[in-house]
Amino acid sequence: MTDWQPTASLAAIKARAELLSTVRAFFAARQVLEVDTPQLARFGVSDPHIQCIAVPGYGYLQSSPEYHMKRLLAAGSGAIYQICKAYRDGEAGGRHNPEFTMLEWYRPGFELNDLVQECLALFAELFPDAHSKTYRFRDLFRHVTGLDPLTANDSDLIAHAESRGAPKGLNKTAAVDYLMATRVEDALPDEQLSVVTDFPGWAAALAQTRTDNDGVTVAQRFEIYYRGLELANGYQELTDAGEQKRRFEQDNIQREAHGLNPMDADPYLLDAMNTGLPACSGVAMGVERLLMAQQGSGKIHDIIAFPWPRA
């Protein structure tokens, strides 16, 4: 019986410690404050793509420290970062574990490109031989699929997704998401840090939106990919409490349409935003993803000592 043993090698365990040391030194040099927030809290996220793990009588294990970190920002913390455990129900497989480690940071006064450059500065330390290239979502999607994700007919996008193995019954946004995950991301060069910006407006989540030069609404959001992995997801953060409340409501409409339980809006976050969340940008990274990219591993079990089947 060997199930008691870690699935990660000692070398991978040491690499994790070295990576975390590098991250902390990176932020110490920039005078970004390390903070700690609850992993168990009364409210969870409403995003229909993320399912929180409920703890009866207490609330939810947190899928991200975002809400609490934004409350700190509203209280005047200044630039902050956190390395913490995060939890997501149903996320288990080759690249996912229901318990994982999140690196998340927020920069008051940073425009989105400032944050992109800071991410690339960190990656220069973690992946010193990698170069970067930036793409607009729309241009990249059109180059790979031949279809404009914002203006193509819904039926064309859905048919193209189905021809690539998508399940029947997807709407336009789901078809675009499917093609992005299965075709577009796969077309990115493995040994390049690929920065994708200007996501469709419907993918804003908690990001601000703007009208681009073509008169189309886009999300002020970026993602960074390397070696076939999404490493970073960053936003120009939404600061309008009324718009945040509206998005919570829209999330619950989508959740109910997909048979998911509705989630109460976090009143603490809304109160903090009403008090005044400073203009800021923020980004989240999965530490295990960073290690997988660094170690050249396609399996999360190679870099977690005790993944869920052995936890």
Residue pLDDT, tens place only, 232-277: 999 999 999 999 999 999 999 999 998 999 999 999 999 999 999 9
What's the per-residue H, E or C state across the chain? CCCCCCCCCHHHHHHHHHHHHHHHHHHHHCCCEECCCCCEECCCCCCCCCCCEEECCCEEECCCCHHHHHHHHHCCCCCEEEEEEEECCCCCCCCCCCEEEEEEEEEECCCHHHHHHHHHHHHHHHCCCCEEEEEEHHHHHHHHHCCCCCCCCHHHHHHHHHHCCCCCCCCHHHHHHHHHHHHHHHHCCCCEEEEEEEEEHHHCCCECEEECCCCCEEEEEEEEEECCEEEEEEEEECCCHHHHHHHHHHHHHHHHHCCCCCCCCCHHHHHHHHHHCCCEEEEEEEHHHHHHHHHCCCCHHHCCCCCHHHC
Q: What is the mean pLDDT of residues 27-38?
A: 98
Which pLDDT belongs to residue 213? Answer: 82
- 65 pLDDT more than 90: yes
CA proximity to 130, closest of 121, 138, 139: 121
In a domain, 220, yes or no: no
Amino acid 25: pLDDT? 98
CATH number for position 263: 3.30.930.10
The residue segments making up the domain with residue 50 are 1-130+246-311
Q: Assign 92 a pLDDT band (cuts: 50, 70, 90).
A: confident
- pLDDT for the residue 234: 98
Tokens standing for residue 301? 């079990």
Averaged pLDDT for residues 41-68: 96
Our count of domains for the chain comes to: 1
The confidence band for 115, taking pLDDT boundaries of 50, 70 and 90, is: very high
| Phi, psi (degrees; rounded to nearest 5) at 138 | -60, -45
pLDDT class of 41 with cuts at 50, 70, 90: very high
Report if residue 149 sits inside a domain: no
Neighbours of 309 (CB within 10 A): 10
Whether 274 maps to a domain, the answer reads: yes
Q: How far apart are CA 207 and CA 202, in angstroms?
A: 10
Query: What confidence tens digit (pLDDT) does each residue in 157-175 have?
Result: 999 999 999 999 889 999 9
Q: Is the pLDDT of residue 93 over 80?
A: no
Q: Considering the domain boundaries, does residue 273 fall inside one?
A: yes
Short-list 297, 306, 310, CA closest to 95: 297
pLDDT for the residue numbered 90: 87
Percent of the chain with pLDDT over 70: 100
Q: What tokens appear for 190 in the block? A: 């493995």
Q: Is residue 229 part of a domain?
A: no
Count CA within 13 A, CB hemisphere, residue 244: 23
The pLDDT mean for the chain works out to: 95
Q: What is the pLDDT of residues 172-220, one digit of tens each?
A: 999 999 999 999 999 999 999 999 999 999 898 899 999 988 888 999 9
Please write the tens of the pLDDT for every residue from 209-229: 999 888 889 999 999 999 999
1/12: higher pLDDT: 12
d(CA 212, CA 151): 14
Q: Which two tokens stand for residue 172?
A: 């336009």
**Can you give the pLDDT at residue 195?**
98
pLDDT the model gives residue 214: 81
Residue 87 reports pLDDT greater than 80: yes
Report the predicted TM-score, pTM, of the whole model to 2 decimal places: 0.95
Instruction: Tell me, yes or no, whether 146 lies in a domain.
Output: no
Look at residue 257 and tell me if it is in a domain. yes
| For range 38-66, the mean pLDDT | 97
The reply to whether 223 falls in a domain is no
The predicted model gives 84-96 an average pLDDT of 90
Does residue 2 register a pLDDT over 90?
no
